[in-house]
Structure 1
Amino acid sequence: MKLNTLRIVRPQVITPAMLVSTNVPENEYVEWNGGASYPLGQRVIVTSAHKVYQSSVAGNVGQSPLTSPLAWAEVGPTNRWKAFDQSNSTQTRAQNFLTYTIRPGQAIHSVAALNLTEATAMRVRVTDPGLGLIYDKTVNLSGQLLNSTWWDWFLGPRTEPKQCIYGDIPSAPAATITVDIAGTQGLAVGVILMGQTRAFSEGIRKGARIGITDYSRKERTEFGDTVLVERPFARRANWSPVLKASEVDAFVDFMAEIRAQPCLWIGSDRYEAMTVYGIYKAFDVLIAYDDISTCDLELEGLT
């Protein structure tokens, strides 16, 4: 098994000022109106904050969700902004097609879409104000057969990619980046991120461990019945990158910088499961030889 150099994408925080255009509306609930009365449990949106709120009291009149936490409970971002809320399980949904054009204001190396549902293709375009279109690439996300047999071709299940990563974006600090995702009626995306990439190590040693942490409820009643409630899960991983002596200090310093920041950790292009969006739980560098050091890296994904 050949694994790649460890790549870490540090996402750019996408703010409303960076959003140039999108076809995803903010209309899943009514806009809050200070003169209207809202019953208990009624949900509204505040487009200035791009948030959804739920009324915590009956006869809720004249209390702004932004300044009245006892009257309103924050539910989360609007559908348009779920793709940028750093949560992998909340998804922006659109029928058949969604598009975002972002002006990040800095050079971007990588663009990624995570937790895709019913996506069939993704296209990324980079347009520089002086040079015009400098990057245009489309990736087919059609489902793949698990086995190459006639039965599987006609009747077998197909695995659909859950993520799409572009790691060759040209550096253009003033450019706009357009992300188009096509799919079916149930099209959804959990995270759209773009950021700068740092690469470390000569490679990840064989024996890399990957898995998930399941937050579902799994209990047995006093009568022996099993109660199962499905909840989100997060990926986890244990890798051992091999570091050159010349990059040990830079690696340790970079890890200190991102100690509480979710990043995209890419350990291999061969396996989707070797990509983790989350934080590191711990790392230890062992300076084993004059020119080579080893590292034990433990990652925790975000739900």
Structure 2
Amino acid sequence: MRIILPTPVTPAALLASNIPEDDHPAWGAGVTYARGARVVADHGVWESVADGNTGHDPAADALGSWWLRIGATNRWRAFDERIGGQTVGGPTITYSIRLPRTLNRIAFFNLDAASVRVKVTTPAGVTIHDRTEGLVARDPVGTFWEYVFTEFAFTPNVIVAAPLPAGATLDITVTGGAVTRVGEIVMGRDTPVGTTVA
């Protein structure tokens, strides 16, 4: 049995993404918020739990007296360690990540997409890995009739093995139809934990 020891993606490591962080207006220190108003702060969506909410930073409200964290923003939902929610984008979702340490696996969960491309570039600009995993199949297809009438099957989860050295840039491109969805992206080290027995 093997597991992937995850390495979190931090704001410092995320270099770029085509998913905007505009789920709600950004929190403003001088704005008064009513109960139920939602804002974006610290890459999360927060809801005001009281009227007359002025000057209370959601990220600093440890007791939840003024704000309740609803969840990660659409951009960060792919890295929130929860497979149930999904980052939703257009035909493609892209992320560019500076690798904080040497890793060797990337796992994608709860995908609604046709393909996943993983590209790794060293700090010197040399591409050391560039592979696209197709997620669409017509299995089993044995006859012409099955080829024409069998529904396409979409793989919701995939693990990609790649050299991921510290300091390199990891470019992820998830491609789908009009709407593409990614539940969770986990990168880490593939580690053996033992042998499964009956």
Would you say same fold, with TM above 0.5?
Answer: yes
Aligned counterparts of 1:62 and 1:17: Cα–Cα separation in 2: 26
Query: Does the residue aligned with 1:93 lie in a helix, a strand or coil?
Result: strand
- For structure 1, the residue ranges without an aligned partner over 5 or more in a row are 1-5, 205-240, 242-293, 297-303
Q: Which residue of 1 aligns with 2:15?
A: 20
Query: Does the residue aligned with 1:82 lie in a helix, a strand or coil?
Result: helix
Aligned counterparts of 2:183 and 2:35: Cα–Cα separation in 1: 29
1:52 paired to 2:55: no
> Which protein, 1 or 2, shows the higher relative CO under an 8 Å CA cutoff with sep ≥ 6?
2
Aligned counterparts of 1:87 and 1:78: Cα–Cα separation in 2: 13
Query: Does the residue aligned with 1:109 lie in a helix, a strand or coil?
Result: strand
1:161-207: per-residue Cα shift (whole Å, max 9, x none)? 0012112x125222111111111222111111111111355xx6xxx
Aligned counterparts of 1:62 and 1:150: Cα–Cα separation in 2: 66
Aligned counterparts of 1:70 and 1:150: Cα–Cα separation in 2: 64
Deviation at 1:152, TM superposition (A): 4.5
1:112 paired to 2:118: no
Which residue, 55, 58, 67 being the options, matches 2:60? 67
Report the number of matched residues. Answer: 196
1:174 paired to 2:160: no
CA gap of 1:145–1:65, structure 2 versus 1, over 3 A, is: same
1:61-112: per-residue Cα shift (whole Å, max 9, x none)? 3322223422211101111111111100011111110111111221111112
Aligned counterparts of 1:66 and 1:104: Cα–Cα separation in 2: 26
Which residue, 60, 74, 79 being the options, matches 1:79? 74
Aligned amino acid, residue 65 of structure 2: L
Deviation at 1:160, TM superposition (A): 0.7
Aligned counterparts of 1:33 and 1:196: Cα–Cα separation in 2: 39
- For structure 2, the residue ranges without an aligned partner over 5 or more in a row are none
Query: Does the residue aligned with 2:12 lie in a helix, a strand or coil?
Result: helix
TM-score (norm 1): 0.60
What pairs up with 1:82-231 in 2 under 5 angstroms?
82-117=77-112, 119-130=113-124, 132-146=126-140, 148-150=142-144, 152-167=146-161, 169-199=162-192
Larger Rg: 1
CA contact (8 A) 1:86 1:191 kept: yes
Aligned counterparts of 2:193 and 2:29: Cα–Cα separation in 1: 53
RMSD over aligned Cα atoms: 2.0
Q: Which residue of 2 aligns with 1:272?
A: none
1:24-76: per-residue Cα shift (whole Å, max 9, x none)? 11001111112223232121101xx1111011123433322223422211101
Deviation at 1:151, TM superposition (A): 5.1
